Amino acid sequence: MYRLLIVDDEPAIREGLKTLIDWRKQGFELCGEAANGRQGAEMCLALRPDAVLADIRMPGRSGLDMLADAREAGLTCRFVLLTGYSDFQYAQQAIEQGVSAYLLKPIDPEELAERMGKLRAELDKERRIIARAEEGEAQEREALLLRLATDKGAALDPEIMRRGEELLGLPWRRSRLLLVAIDGRKADAVAGIALKELLRGAAAEREGVHALPVEEFVLMVLGDGVTAASVKPLIRSVVELFEAQGGRIAVYAGPLLASSSEWAATCAQLLRLARNPFVSRSGAGFWIDVRESGAQPANDAAGETVAGRSEAGHATAAPRRQTFDAESLAQRLALAVGSGQADTLRAAAEEAVRLIASESEAELAIKMRIAMVDMALRRRLTASYGELADAPDAPAGDSADWGRHETLDALLEAFAGRLERWAVALRRSRPDATLQGMLEFIRANCDQELKLELLAELYHYNSGYLGKLFRQQTGEYFNTYLDRVRMDRAKALLAQGHKVGKVAEMVGYANVEYFNGKFRKYVGMPPSRYKRETGAD
């Protein structure tokens, strides 16, 4: 329906024009009426009608003056002019100024209906052209944003940036990228299309927010002045509507960016996280803040791994890749279980899961490795503490249990809980378990600079009390016991053919001469002679 303004200085004519034809049937609705040209010009600016039906000759300003005022103000409304004079001069001026129709009074209803029908057809055509132009411009904006977000070289192309300035006002001082993803376990093609349409519809109603389809995800680009906090409720409303239909959504929110040249690296990181929801998501909620941009995928040339989590639950850069060894990892975990300390157990669980995840981002691979470590830990604890696995409080040996966890966070919590159950079972079945764990820790780390104070801190003892307890239980002072453990290990290494200097380093002595003296004191001969007599030379 198009808006029509009627302007005539004669009230009777104005009233007659309002009822002369069925305006709604012709596609018009009356938006106002004016009694002269000056008032008509003011109402044109205020109401911005699509069409104006006006008399040419009026007191003050004529219909032609009103038309000129409208054009000068940049209005594109169509004018249909009426006159009671068959004056060629008026008609000529009207045509020169681009009037849409010129009708003589008295007005013939059929002629008016015909003229307005033609005018409506012209307006329909113009509206279609404008709609196509706007749609084309919207598509070009979307294509340009997508290019900048997925092509690292796009921000260096002057033509792209020139067009970006025209269409989007680039460069923006601050921007942010969000990636909206459906949980892989619940995603399908229909759900993906529905989510994209919901988000694009919501973005269209918000200035500076753009929604672009990227693979099976939706990339949200927030422009200047649009904060994550301000757009979060909008996305939350879409998410709630979608989740009401059985879906589950996660939003990966990138950091604030100062340049569109940072978009491609950030988008790549968001895509990497979204493709692996097991590692990247947590139970904290649908919004995941990603702190760092430009992180490398797992197992790349730089050796970086999947993003881990900060204490706040945010994705962060992961540690360098390490080689996975279930047996050595189980050995470290057994020491933690032996300590029985909650913070030690938690730290050991986090280190183990972090190391396992650094090997591979694949969910199945992570769960298989956790199961391997769990079995190796069960064997080691049983070997060290007898039939501990049969204790009533010991965790069950069902490795299939690891498969039910949907996120790495959930897997970590389950693994930490499992270590705690081992520690509880050990305390109840072996009252001396703490001391046994301490002795095993010394044997496993005798190459390090070990002190009684370190063990006291690790096992939460007063160092003076621990020294007395250690002597009571072992019959030796701590330093004497440590030296003996080191010498036993040194003898084994020498018998394997290792050089004396290397052996000194491997058992925790930086000074070779000091090592020689210690070895002679405990063994009764220098290490070089011991090596010859064992046939290692």
**pLDDT band, residue 6 (cuts 50/70/90):** very high
- Show the tokens assigned to 418: 């499992």
Two structure tokens written together for 443: 């044997």
Q: What is the per-residue DSSP string for 378-398?
A: HHHHHHHHSSGGGSTTSPP--
Q: Is residue 135 part of a domain?
A: no
The 10s digit of each residue's pLDDT in 74-105 is: 888 999 988 876 655 666 666 656 678 878 88
Residue 364 lies in a domain: yes
Is 481 found in the same domain as 355?
Answer: no
Query: 416 with 474, same domain?
Result: no
- The residue out of 291, 316, 341 marking a domain boundary is 316
Q: What is the CATH number of the domain that holds 8?
A: 3.40.50.2300
Task: Specify the 3-state DSSP secondary structure of 251.
Answer: strand
Which residue's structure tokens are 């050990």?
426
Q: What is the mean pLDDT of the chain?
A: 82
Q: Any residues with CB less than 8 A from the CB of 487 and at least 6 apart, and which? A: 507, 518, 519, 522, 523
DSSP 85: S
State whether 40 and 15 are in the same domain: yes
Residue 149 counted as domain residue: no
Q: Is the pLDDT of residue 304 over 70?
A: no
201 and 312 part of one domain: yes
Q: State the pLDDT at residue 292.
A: 53
Q: Kindly report which listed range (30-39, 156-165, 180-189, 192-201) carries the lowest average pLDDT score.
A: 180-189
In a domain, 145, yes or no: no
Q: Percentage of the chain surpassing pLDDT 70?
A: 86
pLDDT, tens only, 464-516: 888 887 887 788 899 999 999 999 999 999 999 899 999 999 998 989 999 99
CB atoms within 10 A of CB 456: 19
Give residue 296's Cα distance to chain centre. Answer: 15
Instruction: Describe the crossing of helices 88-96 and 63-72 by its angle, rounded to 10 degrees.
Output: 10
In what helix (H) or strand (E) does residue 7 lie, and over which residues does it extend?
strand 2-7
Q: Which residue has the higher pLDDT, 46 or 390?
A: 46
Give the number of other CB atoms < 10 A from CB of residue 360: 19
Q: Same domain for 309 and 175? A: yes
Residue among 256, 257, 289 at smallest CA distance from 273: 289
Contact yes or no for 273/318 (Cβ under 8 A): no
Burial of 62 (0-12, 13-18, 19+ CB in 10 A): buried
Residue type, 342: A
20 and 114 co-located in one domain: yes
Kindly give, in sequence order, each residue whose CB lies less than 8 Å from that of residue 390, ignoring residues fewer than 6 positions away: none
Which of 279-283, 361-365, 393-397, 421-425 shows the lowest mean pLDDT across its residues? 279-283
224 and 106, same structural domain? no
Q: Would the pLDDT of 245 be above 80?
A: no
Alpha helices in 223-325 (DSSP H): 228-243, 263-275, 277-280
Confidence of residue 314 (pLDDT cuts 50, 70, 90): very low
The total number of residues shown for the chain amounts to 537
Looking at 290, 316, 342, which one is the last position of a domain?
316
Give the structural domain span for 226. Answer: 171-316
> Do 20 and 97 fall into the same domain?
yes
The residue that leads in pLDDT, 309 or 91, is 91
Domain match, 290 and 343 both: no
Phi, psi of 70 (to 5 degrees): -65, -45
Task: Answer yes or no: is 273 within a domain.
Answer: yes
Q: Write the pLDDT tens digit of every residue in 254-290.
A: 999 998 999 999 999 999 888 888 888 765 567 888 8
Name which residue leads in pLDDT, 340 or 312: 340
Tens of pLDDT, residues 390-403: 777 788 877 667 88
Residue 136 lies in a domain: no
Residue 152 lies in a domain: no
**Structure confidence at residue 312 (pLDDT):** 35
User: What's the one-letter identity of residue 431?
Assistant: P
Spacing of C-alpha 409 from chain mean position: 16
Q: Do 195 and 305 fall into the same domain?
A: yes
- The CATH number linked to 274 is 3.30.70.270
Sort strands 249-253 and 287-289 into parallel, antiparallel or unpaired.
Answer: parallel
Q: Are 517 and 528 in contact (CB under 8 A)?
A: no
Of 380, 407, 432, the position where a domain reaches its end is 432
Are the C-beta atoms of residues 196 and 211 closer than 8 Å to each other? yes
User: Is residue 246 scored above 80 in pLDDT?
Assistant: no
pLDDT at 294: 38
- Is position 437 within any domain? no
SS3 of 486-517? HHHHHHHHHHCCCCHHHHHHHCCCCCHHHHHH
If asked whether residues 521 and 483 sit together in one domain, one would say: yes
Count CB atoms within 10 A of the CB of residue 387. 9
Q: Do 420 and 501 belong to one domain?
A: no
Domains contained in the chain, number: 4
How many helices (H) and strands (E) the chain has is answered by 21, 12
CATH number at residue 483: 1.10.10.60
Measured distance CA(27)–CA(42) in Å, rounded: 24
